[in-house]
């Protein structure tokens, strides 16, 4: 049993921020006042200088029990990458990507939800629009010879709903602010060549948002896991990260239970096969009982990019989580069939 000399290994040890703060000092170094985490986005990603190291993105993924839709809107200094992806489980898959050299004409705001993001060139029209009560995701992609996809999905931001917002420091020159949201209700439609796929409360539809604003090292490896949905009579969101935060004193690990965040400071153990990513993954806390989960994938999305100065290899496995998690209050929540994903990403950027 934990004592004063032996604190609870599952307790949060990171500082909680409660007021807005800039990520960078005027000279571009990490602002020490920004170190910590918050329940709502408070950090401003005022990145300046260090061209080539700055990475900015908004990533949305909307899931239902039968299909999902995701959008990536990113700028990594060398280029802008914009991707629209749709998957019907066990059925059709549509993906379109636009690569803009040097990211000309593409920009992202310093703050989470700080402005509309609009791209309209060639065969891709994409808009992420901030509206009262949430964000509207619009997409229209595909040329004459391709499957045409158009989407109109509204992701609500319930009043008081909490998210994980944390600064990860590698050094005073390399650091990342990440804002992770889950269990956000989604409603709307995606059409693929005229066939409709709907999201809404009638089919347990949820959205996750990943916002990144940071100054990265050239080579990075990370794990990321996320899930949203009802289980054990609770609305449960899982947010897990690994490897890229090791040794920083900060993690991007948290539970969102019924809209309330439970921050985990303990690094996780990720067990999976790099020979076959579709085998079950096991994610756990090694020193406490806070997380003991398995995800059984049913679909692996492999994304590989090879360019002159940038490259990536991502294995994103979608499946169902099962096991248990423990809240800050010590309540055990059984997790069964919670739809989400786990991934490994290797970046050279």
pLDDT at 6 over 70: no
Closest to 282 in 3D by CA, of 332, 325, 206, 342: 342
* Residue 43 CB contacts under 8 Å (≥ 6 apart), including other chains: 17, 20, 21, 22, 23, 34, 111, 165, 167, 177, 179, 213
Question: Residue 268: how many CA atoms within 13 Å on its side-chain side?
Answer: 31
Q: Provide the Cα torsion 326, 167, 178, 348; round to 10°.
A: -120
| Whether 155 contacts 207, CB under 8 Å | yes
DSSP string, 282-297: EEE-SSSSSEEEEEEE
- Distance (Å, rounded) from C-alpha 347 to C-alpha 271? 20
Beta bridge partners of 287: none
**And the tokens for 249?**
């004193």
pLDDT over 70, % of the chain: 98
Mean pLDDT of 262-287: 98
Q: What is the DSSP letter of 267?
A: P
Phi and psi of 33, rounded to 5°?
A: -70, -15
Q: What is the pTM of this model?
A: 0.96
pLDDT at 339 over 80: yes
* Residue 247 CB contacts under 8 Å (≥ 6 apart), including other chains: none
pLDDT at 4 over 80: no
| Whether 116 contacts 108, CB under 8 Å | no
CA angle 200/108/77 to nearest 5° reads 125
| Whether 319 contacts 288, CB under 8 Å | no
pLDDT in tens, 47-79: 989 999 999 999 999 999 999 999 999 999 999
pLDDT in tens, 234-249: 999 999 999 999 999 9
pLDDT at 145 over 70: yes
Q: What is the DSSP letter of 34?
A: G
Burial of residue 144 (number of CB atoms within 10 Å: 0-12, 13-18, 19+): exposed
| Whether 156 contacts 185, CB under 8 Å | yes
Which pLDDT score is estimated for 8? 86
pLDDT at 84 over 90: yes
Q: Which residues of 269-281 are buried (b: 16+ CB within 10 A; e: fewer)?
A: ebebeeeebeeeb
Which pLDDT score is estimated for 266? 97
Number of neighbouring beta carbons within 10 Å of residue 262 = 21
**pLDDT-based confidence at 307, cuts 50/70/90?**
confident
Q: Which of 181-195, 245-259, 296-310, 325-339 has the lowest mean pLDDT?
A: 296-310
């Amino acid at each position: 049993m934990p004592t004063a000399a032996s604190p609870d290994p599952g307790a949060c040890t990171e500082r909680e921020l409660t007021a807005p703060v800039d990520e960078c000092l005027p000279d571009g170094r990490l602002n020490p006042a920004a170190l910590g985490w918050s329940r709502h986005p408070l950090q401003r990603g005022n990145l300046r200088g260090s061209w080539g190291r700055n990475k900015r993105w908004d990533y949305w993924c909307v899931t239902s029990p039968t299909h999902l839709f995701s959008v990536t809107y990113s700028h990594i200094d060398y280029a802008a990458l914009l991707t629209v992806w749709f998957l019907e489980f066990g059925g059709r898959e549509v993906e379109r990507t636009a690569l803009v050299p040097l990211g000309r004409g593409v920009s992202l705001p310093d703050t989470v939800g700080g402005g509309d993001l609009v791209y309209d060139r060639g065969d891709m029209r994409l808009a992420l629009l901030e509206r009262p009560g949430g964000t509207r995701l619009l997409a229209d992609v595909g040329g004459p010879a391709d499957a045409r996809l158009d989407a109109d999905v509204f992701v609500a931001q319930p009043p008081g709903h909490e998210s994980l917002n944390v600064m990860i420091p590698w050094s005073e020159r390399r650091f990342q602010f990440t804002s992770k949201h889950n269990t956000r209700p989604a409603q709307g439609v995606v059409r693929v060549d005229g066939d409709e796929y709907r999201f809404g409360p009638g089919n347990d539809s949820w959205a996750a948002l990943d916002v990144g604003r940071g100054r990265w090292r050239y080579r990075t490896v990370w794990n990321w896991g996320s899930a949203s949905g009802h289980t054990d009579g609770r609305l449960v969101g899982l947010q897990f990260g690994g490897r890229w935060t090791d040794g920083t004193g900060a993690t991007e690990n948290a539970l969102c239970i019924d809209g309330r965040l439970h921050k985990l400071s303990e690094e996780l153990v990720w067990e999976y096969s790099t020979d076959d990513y579709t085998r079950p993954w096991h994610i756990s806390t090694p020193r406490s009982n806070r997380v003991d989960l398995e995800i059984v994938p049913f679909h692996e999305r492999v994304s590989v990019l090879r360019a002159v100065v940038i490259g990536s290899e991502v294995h994103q496995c979608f499946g169902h989580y099962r096991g248990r998690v423990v809240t800050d209050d010590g309540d055990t929540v059984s997790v069964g069939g919670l739809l989400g994903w786990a991934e490994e990403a290797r970046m050279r950027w």
